Amino acid sequence: LADLSGRTVVVQDKRLAILAAAGALVESPRFAALEAALRAEAALPAHFLDREAAAQYAAEPVLIAMPEHGTQRLTVPIVANRLGRGFFSLLADQESAFDRLDNQFVRHGAAACALEMAKEKAIREAQKRVQGSVLERLLLGSVP
């Protein structure tokens, strides 16, 4: 998506840790400062931080100015199973305007991330069930 949009793409988890980043700004010397700004909860709308409320507002990307970094951020929550699981953002220089196509990139990027996050969660839950079953059988002495 970074190549297609010509923007920097950032995917964050629910704790604002950066899971993936790609694009021109990632290679920039100022990206370290941008990373810190992206992890700041205060920069996000309050309803994004409430995981249940974020699911209600998932449709509309929000433009967040980051003038201290000469950057702007178009972001939307990643929603899976009716909970906010993280954030998908496009970053661009402050002089560059986001357009309708960027809005679509953000929405579709978040949807793709939601599918992947839901899949990973289902795999983790299945592994826990299997491990629990094996442990239970060991404790009951039913494993030969």
Give the per-residue pLDDT at 31.
Answer: 92
Q: How far apart are CA 86 and CA 92, in angstroms?
A: 20
* In a domain? residue 136: no
Containing structural domain, residue 103: 2-119
Q: How far apart are CA 110 and CA 11, in angstroms?
A: 8
* In a domain? residue 135: no
Question: Which tokens go with 64?
Answer: 């967040």
Q: 103, 74 in Cβ contact below 8 A?
A: yes
Looking up tokens 């839950």, which residue turns up? 125
* In a domain? residue 134: no
* In a domain? residue 127: no
* In a domain? residue 27: yes
pTM of the model: 0.82
Show pLDDT as tens, one digit a residue, over the chain (144 residues).
Answer: 777 788 999 999 999 999 999 999 998 898 999 999 999 998 898 888 888 888 776 568 999 999 999 999 999 999 988 888 999 999 999 888 899 999 999 999 999 999 998 888 878 888 887 777 777 777 777 766
Other C-beta atoms within 10 Å of 136: how many? 11
* In a domain? residue 68: yes
Give the per-residue pLDDT at 130.
Answer: 79
* In a domain? residue 133: no
* In a domain? residue 79: yes
Give the per-residue pLDDT at 143.
Answer: 65
Q: Give the C-alpha distances (Å, rounded to integers) separating 59 from 13, 107, 113.
A: 18, 7, 14
Give the count of domains, the chain.
1
Give the per-residue pLDDT at 117.
Answer: 86
Output the domain CATH number for residue 92.
3.30.450.40
